[in-house]
Amino acid sequence: MEEMKNKVVLITGASTGIGEGLAYAFARKGGSLSLCGRNVENLKKVEEKCVSEGAAKTIQVVADVTKVDDMERMVDETVAKLGQVDVLINNAGYGCKGGIENGTLEEFDEVFSVNLKAPYYLMQRCLPHLKKTKGCVINLSSCYANMFVPEAVHYSMTKVGLDHLTKCAAIELGKYGIRVNNVNPGLVVTEMV
């Protein structure tokens, strides 16, 4: 139960789906959780369940990973209220249907902003804190990184990029004792799917 005692886990996209499930798993291990997401009502429900599951401490940070100010606030509030960051989980994700023929640049920008730019920037922003704790980063990628699905070209490209970012970050940050890994889940039934 106390495996994560004295550890702080920041989870993006914690209000639903995989992020919600991860929050409960870390709560059961006794971690302190920074639950970040856009849905205020869902975050409140997730926080309540995390407390009942055994989380040491919890905070909600209502934030949008497409906004730099929100990402900065996420990290700042986590450190101010919970003291540190031991684990960063870049879970927030977005996908839309579209390929080369019918996709738009607006969709491209939105998907890349959530799925690739946000993990990159949050790793940068958390780096000083992860150095102190010799923490870790977990990026939620997708099996789509290794599949060729024309109607999901934007999403697939971001997941290939996230896999590469993870490998580069693991090599670069390993010298600080920081581990960086990703998970490539298959289809998981969530509100997004």
Catalytic residues: 155
Question: Encoding tokens for residue 181?
Answer: 């890994």
Helix ranges restricted to H, the chain? 17-28, 40-53, 68-82, 105-112, 118-133, 153-173
Q: How far apart are CA 74 and CA 10, in angstroms?
A: 8
Q: Residue 7's closest CA among 86, 77, 89?
A: 86
Q: How far apart are CA 7 and CA 150, in angstroms?
A: 41
Rg of the chain over Cα atoms, rounded to whole angstroms, equals 16
Q: How far apart are CA 28 and CA 3, in angstroms?
A: 9
